[in-house]
């Protein structure tokens, strides 16, 4: 028996084929993505760069299953998910994707422990198992002494490390980082980048949006966007 495989390269996590996204702004049609063809291989560390309005945020939203394409195809691990409904896309986010945001986006009323456990809660893990796993992740990012704290009691760097631990909780295939160091000072930024690099070295696939060239240096591949198109791709 042979499984139906639509993509012949199993190394690819995400593949966009002639991907387009058109917004209606008033009576004007604005193409945020205009025929993107790109493949992100497993284990890669990508930096997406471009000026504001270049379409990199839209690209991240599409890759993150938060937004749908208006044309073209989106293949996730070889399966076309362009036509998936909201519930199915939620399920992909839950099981396969981990998000890291510029403003951390921790839930303020939950403790560090409960924030990290959040994906496990939606996965339906039992309490003891998810607590143990959250402790393990917290110690991995160096926050095992802060488990009972609330996000407001942490520094920016600590909050981002909680967010990284949360993004890792469901053991995702892909980590999406949207300007992860945008709200941090230079020293903390490099600490966070070092953490992401170590994750990459551990085998994680990472796609990161940034506009700082020195941070983009951490990534192995760089994708430059202009006006909804891929300007160029630099691979190392």
Partner 1 sequence: MKQIKFSRELASGIQTLLLHKLRSFLTMLGVVFGVGSVVAMLAVGEGASKDALEQIRKLGSHNILISSIKPVEEGATGTTPSFMSIYGLTYLDHDRIQESFSSVRKNVPVKLIRKEARLGERALELRVVGTSHQWFEVIPRPVLGGRTLMPGDLADKSPVVVLTEFGARKLLATRHTIGQIIRLGVDSFTVIGIVKNETGSSGAMQIPDREIDAYIPITTARSYFGDVVIKRTAGSRLREKVELNQIIVQVGSLDRVEPAAQAVERMLTLFHQKKDFQIQVPLALLRQAEATKRTFNIVLGAIAGISLLVGGIGIMNIMLASVTERTREIGVRRAIGAKRKQIIIQFLIEAVVLSSAGGILGLAVGMAIPFFITWFAKMPTVITPLGILLPLFVSLGIGIVFGLYPAARAARVDPIIALRHE
Q: Does 30 bind partner 1 (CB under 8 A)?
A: no
C-beta of residue 49 within 8 angstroms of C-beta of residue 224: yes
Q: For partner 1, which stretch binds (CB under 8 A), given 38-46, 73-81, 92-100, 140-148?
A: 92-100
Which C-beta is closer to partner 1: that of 8 or that of 152? Answer: 152
Q: Does 66 bind partner 1 (CB under 8 A)?
A: yes
- Residue located via tokens 């009323």: 109
Which C-beta is closer to partner 1: that of 91 or that of 227? Answer: 91
Report the nearest approach of partner 1 to the CB of residue 235 (Å).
29
Q: Mark residues 133-172: x for contact with partner 1 by CB under 8 A, - for none.
A: ---------------------------------x---x--
For 64, the enclosing helix (H) or strand (E) is none
> Environment class of residue 7 by beta-carbon count within 10 Å: exposed (0-12), middle (13-18) or buried (19+)?
middle
Q: The tokens of 44 are what?
A: 């890669």
Provide CB contacts within 8 A for 178, sequence distance 6+. 57, 60, 99, 100, 101, 102, 208, 209
Q: Does 64 bind partner 1 (CB under 8 A)?
A: yes
Report the nearest approach of partner 1 to the CB of residue 118 (Å).
6
Which C-beta is closer to partner 1: that of 101 or that of 191? Answer: 101
Q: Does 71 bind partner 1 (CB under 8 A)?
A: no
Round to whole Å and give the CA distance between 125 and 204: 22
Q: Does 94 bind partner 1 (CB under 8 A)?
A: yes
Provide CB contacts within 8 A for 47, sequence distance 6+. 208, 209, 210, 215, 216, 218, 219, 221, 222, 223
Q: Does 118 bind partner 1 (CB under 8 A)?
A: yes
Task: Compute the 3-state secondary structure of the chain and give helix, strand, coil in percent, each to the nearest 5.
Answer: 35, 30, 35
Taking CB under 8 A as the criterion, the residue among 11, 37, 91, 231 binding partner 1 is 91
When computed from its CA atoms, the radius of gyration of the chain, rounded to whole angstroms, is 18
Report the nearest approach of partner 1 to the CB of residue 223 (Å).
20
- Residue located via tokens 């493949």: 39
Q: Does 122 bind partner 1 (CB under 8 A)?
A: yes
Q: Does 55 bind partner 1 (CB under 8 A)?
A: no
Taking CB under 8 A as the criterion, the residue among 3, 27, 87, 128 binding partner 1 is 87
User: What is the contact surface with partner 1 in residues (CB under 8 A)?
Assistant: 61, 64, 66-67, 86-87, 90-95, 97, 99, 101, 105-109, 118-119, 121-124, 127, 166, 170
């Amino acid at each position: 028996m042979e499984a139906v495989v639509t993509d012949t390269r199993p190394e690819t996590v995400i593949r966009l084929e002639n991907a387009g996204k058109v917004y209606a702004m008033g009576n004007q049609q604005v193409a945020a993505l205009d025929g993107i063809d790109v493949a992100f291989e497993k284990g890669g560390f990508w930096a997406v760069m471009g000026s504001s309005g270049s379409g990199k945020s839209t690209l991240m939203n599409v890759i993150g299953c938060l937004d749908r394409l208006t044309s073209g195809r989106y293949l996730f691990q070889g399966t076309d998910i362009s036509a998936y409904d909201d519930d199915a896309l939620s399920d992909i986010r839950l099981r396969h994707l981990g998000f890291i945001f510029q403003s951390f986006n921790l839930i303020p009323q939950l403790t560090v422990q409960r924030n990290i456990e959040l994906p496990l809660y939606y996965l339906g893990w039992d309490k003891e198992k998810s607590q143990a796993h959250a402790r393990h992740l917290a110690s991995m990012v160096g926050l095992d002494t802060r488990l009972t704290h609330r996000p407001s009691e942490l520094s920016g760097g600590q909050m981002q490390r909680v967010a990284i631990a949360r993004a890792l909780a469901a053991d995702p295939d892909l980590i999406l980082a949207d300007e992860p160091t945008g709200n941090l000072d230079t020293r903390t930024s490099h600490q966070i980048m070092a953490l992401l690099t170590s994750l990459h070295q551990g085998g994680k696939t990472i796609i990161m949006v940034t506009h700082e060239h020195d941070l983009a240096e951490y990534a192995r591949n760089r994708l430059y966007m202009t006006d909804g198109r891929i300007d160029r791709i630099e691979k190392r």
